[in-house]
Amino acid sequence: MKISDARVIVTSPGRNFVTLKIVTDEGVTGVGDATLNGRELAVAAYLNEHVVPLLIGRDPHRIEDIWQYLYKGAYWRRGPVTMTAIAAVDTALWDIKGKVAGLPVYQLLGGRSREGVTVYGHASADTVDGVLAEVAKYVADGYKAVRLQAGIPGLSGVYGVHTGPGVYEPASAAVPAEAVWSTERYLHHVPSLFERVRDEFGPTLKLLHDAHHRLTPIEAARLGKSLEPYALTWLEDPVPAELQEGFRLIRRHTTTPLAVGEVFNSVWDCQQLITEQLVDYIRTTVVHAGGISALRRIFDLAALYHVRSGSHGATDLSPVCMAAALHVDVSIPNFGLQEYMPHTEETDEVFPHGYRFENGYLHPSEAPGLGVDIDEELAAKYPYRPAALPVNRLEDGTLHSW
């Protein structure tokens, strides 16, 4: 069998997605998500200009060799654009292998390690009362885990807080929107949110929070400490993680579990965090960390150090990524949690898929391969619209992040 064609499909059914579709001479096709929020066309160009020409004529069964060829062969290793492009190829090749084998991909990864994939939903609102009402809805829908984000008194447009109708969408304008950030106001407010929700919903609901890289290590340590009475499942992205040793300082001060890694693109980005046991959950995902093959390596390393998976799963990761993530999640021994945000109806129509949500769990498709596809005709009806993630400035105008 040979790869005869590979198409890069850019579509915007509510938000932008880039998808790679690999076609073989025997008519079997595979799909991979190649979406990098706010930088979509860079990955599309990387694939079109530099990767697709190298794929034609290759044996699609040689997943590992093709991965190594694209990674080592580029000379310029790592980086989100490169690794997202490689991820798309890897994911599409696993899809093809599953279809040829007549098995869902999780069977090729060793089979089931659990009955369902526990997901967390997103309760967010401007006010604490609003968040409480949101949590109640998730609990009624069967969710076992909920992330809490609330507006901060005195700040408007806080990143990660979804208000109003429609699905959560942080990328808005072509030129990033700007908001004002105050760490003092934030650190003062967050514990009161968790106190209310813990009081009302009891000790077993898993509660999470995302700090979106906005703190320094000592500020994060203080936040972790102040949240200890409310027994979080994780505090996510407390600080930007380029300086992995920075987590030592947080760890020294708090027992609040830490999660990090949605922006990582290789095992090297989390090696120290994992091997020094500086985090509890590693949030790398299929699309941004080099595909199913590379993600499994990260999770295998993590398993040696008591670190569990907690893959990113926001709406800017397409249903193709979610389908692939679920095959990994259901098969690995050290699964922790999977983030889940429903896509728009339009997105679900463009990407017909067989995974399903039931009572707090997602279940991968039982169809051969990943169990997801792209309707190219429908995709063509939604042209690309530039949209970027916002930035924050401190009250004096200094550029912060998110």
Angstrom distance (rounded) from CA 259 to CA 241? 11
- Return the number of the residue (95 or 210) whose C-beta is nearest ligand EZ4: 210
Angstrom distance (rounded) from CA 267 to CA 301? 9
Is 400 a residue of the active site? no
Q: Which residues contact 109 (CB under 8 A, 6 or more apart)?
A: 292, 296, 327, 328, 331, 332
Give the H or E element holding residue 20: strand 17-24
**210 forms part of the interface with ligand EZ4 (CB under 6 A):** yes
Q: How far is the CB of 400 from ligand EZ4 (least distance, A)?
A: 15
Options 51, 87, 239, 314; binder of ligand EZ4; rule CB under 6 A: 314
Question: What are residue 120's phi and psi, to 5 degrees?
Answer: -115, 145
Is 120 a residue of the active site? no
- Return the number of the residue (124 or 293) whose C-beta is nearest ligand EZ4: 124
Q: Is 206 helix (H, G, I), strand (E, B) or coil?
A: strand
Which of 106, 159, 355, 361 is flagged as catalytic?
Answer: 159
Structure tokens at 101: 């084998």
Q: How far is the CB of 110 from ligand EZ4 (least distance, A)?
A: 27
Interface of this chain with ligand EZ4, residues 68 to 107, rule: CB under 6 A: none
Options 262, 269, 329, 373; binder of ligand EZ4; rule CB under 6 A: 262
Question: What are residue 219's phi and psi, to 5 degrees?
Answer: -65, -40
Question: What are residue 231's phi and psi, to 5 degrees?
Answer: 45, 65
Options 219, 269, 316, 329; binder of ligand EZ4; rule CB under 6 A: 316
Closest of 1, 104, 96, 86 to residue 46, by C-alpha: 86
Which option in Co ion, ligand EZ4, none does residue 316 bind, with CB closer than 5 to 8 A by kind? ligand EZ4
Residue that is written with structure tokens 């109003």 in the block: 164
Interface of this chain with ligand EZ4, residues 374 to 393, rule: CB under 6 A: 389
**210 forms part of the interface with Co ion (CB under 5 A):** yes
Interface of this chain with Co ion, residues 223 to 282, rule: CB under 5 A: 262
Kindly report the CA angle at 115 between 111 and 118, in degrees rounded to 5? 115
Q: Which stretch binds ligand EZ4 (CB under 6 A): 17-25, 185-193, 242-250, 308-316?
A: 308-316
- Please state at what angle helix 319-331 crosses helix 291-304, rounded to 10 degrees: 40
Which option in Co ion, ligand EZ4, none does residue 37 bind, with CB closer than 5 to 8 A by kind? ligand EZ4
Binding stretches for Co ion (CB under 5 A): 210, 262
Binding stretches for ligand EZ4 (CB under 6 A): 37, 170, 210, 212, 262, 312, 314, 316, 339, 389
List, by residue number, the catalytic residues. 159, 212
